Amino acid sequence: MKFPVKHVLACALLAVGAATAHAQTVIKFSHVVAQDTPKGKAAEFFAKKAEELTQGKVKVEVYANSALYKDKEEMEALQLGSVQMLAPSLAKFGPLGVKEFEVFDLPFIFDNREELHKVTTGPVGEKLMKKLESRGIKGLAFWDNGFKVFSANKPLHTVADYKGLKYRIQSSKVLEEQIRTLGGIPQVIAFGETYQALQTGVVDATENPPSNFYTQKMHEVQKHVSMTNHGYLGYAVIVNKKFWDGLDATVRGQLEDAMRQATDYANQIAQDENDQAMEAVKKSGRTTIYTPTAEERAQLKKALVPVHEKMSGRVGKEIIQDVYQATGFDPKKL
């Protein structure tokens, strides 16, 4: 039986339309920490909201624990389009050439979350995100993990206690300078390899937000934690700019809404997760937790704030002053 040409064309167009209507955009979202950390949970939250708000037009596949890429590989994979979305720690942008992001690595530049959020949710944060676009990257949001604590196999009470230890750090010239200022030896080691490095004595000590410390089981190989809250660890959720700009405008708006909700969620749970992690470490009985006195913390702060000036040539005096202005911090008053 022969059908009129018009009927055949109409059926073909309907078939194409149906296929298009059911086409699904897949976003591979890769990160290097465990699924049960604040970042891991926020990534899963975003995936759920993205599918919900786009009514299934977008599926976000989350790959935790370096399942796709190691620390050093993921940024290149994003720029090449092999993965569409990442949430790297802010220190990762220095090697990319956007050294201003290393302002977040400066010790004691934020005293609390309120000061931090004046930067991440304000003009300074927006200014930093814009600097990524020339690298083919679109910045979507800042996610908190929390403030870092020092751990070691010896008590860390006074500034002198930090001297001579080998510290695992993530790749950051600022963090290298921080450890040297304390009289320690910095060792850049991938996050996923930290437990083994501590276990085998390659390093003696490290710094982490409590949730990372606990979920990576570092309490099994570190006898002491000092609740210094000396530095911040956060993430920038980023996406391949070409991919993002190529999305349908309506879908892109829905994903932006999903990201706003995920960011609120991430930042709400970060402190709770860290508090719960420290409680779990305490209950394990393996690690002694010490809270520095006000005087001890003040002395540590006084010892480390000179790192701001030492690294200003790298990070940029302008961005450091921008943060000081946003938070009201004055190093001269120490």
Mean pLDDT by 10 residues, the chain (334 residues): 47 43 85 87 97 98 90 88 94 91 97 95 97 97 96 98 97 95 97 95 97 94 98 96 97 98 95 94 97 97 97 97 96 89
Q: Is residue 124 part of a domain?
A: yes
The residue among 324, 229, 230, 218 whose CA lies nearest residue 281 is 218
Q: Is residue 273 part of a domain?
A: yes
Token pair, residue 219, equals: 């309490």
Token pair, residue 225, equals: 């934690």
Q: Is residue 11 part of a domain?
A: yes
Amino acid at 184: G
Task: Provide the residue range defining the domain that includes 193.
Answer: 5-326
Q: Is residue 83 part of a domain?
A: yes
- Give the pLDDT confidence score for residue 9 in this predicted structure: 44
Q: Is residue 219 part of a domain?
A: yes
Q: Is residue 266 part of a domain?
A: yes
- Give the pLDDT confidence score for residue 4 in this predicted structure: 53
- Give the pLDDT confidence score for residue 12 in this predicted structure: 44
Q: Is residue 334 part of a domain?
A: no
Amino acid at 125: G
CATH for 314: 3.40.190.170
68 contacts 77 by C-beta, under 8 angstroms: yes
- Give the pLDDT confidence score for residue 14 in this predicted structure: 43
- Give the pLDDT confidence score for residue 70 in this predicted structure: 77
- Give the pLDDT confidence score for residue 69 in this predicted structure: 85
Domain tally, the chain: 1
Q: Is residue 177 part of a domain?
A: yes
Residue with tokens 């931090």: 116
217 contacts 153 by C-beta, under 8 angstroms: no
